[in-house]
Amino acid sequence: MLNDDTLTNEGLAATGAGPILLLACGALAHEILALKRLNGWDHMDLTCLPAKLHLYPEKITGAVAEAVKKHRAKYDQIFVLYADCGTGGLLAAKCAELGVEMLQGPHCYSFFQGNDDFASKIDDEFTSFYLTDFLVKQFDAFVWRPMGLDRHPELRDMIFGNYTQLVYQAQTKDPKLEAKAQECARRLQLDYVYRFTGYGDLGKAMQDFTRLKDAAS
Amino acid sequence: MSDEDEIILSDLPDDELVQQMFDDLYDGLKEEIEEAVHILLDRGWEPYRVLTEALVGGMTIVGHDFRDGILFVPEVLLAANAMKGGMFILKPLLAETGAPQVGKMVIGTVKGDIHDIGKNLVGMMMEGAGFEVIDLGINNSVEKYLEAMEAEKPDILGMSALLTTTMPYMKVVIDTMIEKGIRDDYTVLVGGAPLNEEFGKAIGADAYCRDAAVAVETAKTFMARKHNQATAAH
Do A53 and A64 form a contact (C-beta atoms < 8 A)?
A: no
Q: What's the angle, vertex CA B162, arms to CA B159 and CA B166, rounded to 5?
A: 75
How far is Cα A71 from Cα A69, in angstroms, rounded to an integer? 6
Give A126's contacts in chain B (Cβ within 8 Å). Answer: 112-114, 139
Average pLDDT estimate for A195-199: 98
How far is Cα B68 from Cα B62, in angstroms, rounded to an integer? 10
In total, the C-beta contacts within 8 angstroms joining chain A to chain B are: 63
| Of B166, B115, B174, B167, residue with least CA distance to B142 | B174
Q: Are B194 and A87 in contact (CB < 8 Å)?
A: yes
Q: Is A159 on the interface with B (CB under 8 A)?
A: yes
How far is Cα B36 from Cα B48, in angstroms, rounded to an integer? 15
Do A61 and A100 form a contact (C-beta atoms < 8 A)?
A: no
Do A11 and A32 form a contact (C-beta atoms < 8 A)?
A: no
pLDDT > 70 fraction of chain A, expressed in percent and rounded: 98
> CA torsion, points A23, A111, A10, A100, in degrees to nearest 10?
20
Amino acid at B211: D
Neighbours of A204 (CB within 10 A): 14
Residue of B nearest to A88 (CA): B194
Sign, CA dihedral B218-B223-B227-B233, equals positive
In chain B, the N- to C-terminal Cα span, in Å, equals 62
Q: Are A126 and B199 in contact (CB < 8 Å)?
A: no
Kindly list the residues of chain B whose beta carbon comes within 8 Å of any beta carbon in chain A: 28, 72-75, 77-78, 81, 112-117, 138-139, 163-165, 167, 193-196, 199
Q: Is A84 on the interface with B (CB under 8 A)?
A: yes
Within 13 A of B14's CA, how many CA atoms are on the CB side? 10
E strand or H helix at B104: strand B103-109
| Of B91, B21, B1, B98, residue with least CA distance to B62 | B21
The ipTM, to two decimals, is 0.87
Within 13 A of A69's CA, how many CA atoms are on the CB side? 8
pTM of the complete model: 0.90
Task: Note the pLDDT tens digit of each residue in B182-193.
Answer: 999 999 999 999
| Of B214, B216, B109, B202, residue with least CA distance to B156 | B216
- Give the pLDDT score at B1: 46
How far is Cα B4 from Cα A192, in angstroms, rounded to an integer? 49
> CA torsion, points B39, B45, B49, B51, in degrees to nearest 10?
30
Confidence of residue A176 (pLDDT cuts 50, 70, 90): very high
Strands of the sheet with A20-25, listed across from one edge: A44-49, A20-25, A77-81, A101-102
Task: Note the pLDDT tens digit of each residue in A13-43.
Answer: 998 878 999 999 999 999 999 999 999 999 9
E strand or H helix at A101: strand A101-102
Contacts for A119 with CB less than 8 Å, ≥ 6 apart: A110, B165
Write down the number of H helices and E strands in chain B: 10, 5
Give A143's contacts in chain B (Cβ within 8 Å). Answer: none
> Is the model's pLDDT at A213 over the cut of 70?
no
Give A142's contacts in chain B (Cβ within 8 Å). Answer: none
Average pLDDT estimate for B4-10: 83
Task: Note the pLDDT tens digit of each residue in A113-166.
Answer: 999 999 999 999 999 999 999 999 999 999 999 999 999 999 999 999 999 999
Q: What are phi and psi of A178, to 5 degrees?
A: -65, -40
Mean pLDDT of chain A: 94
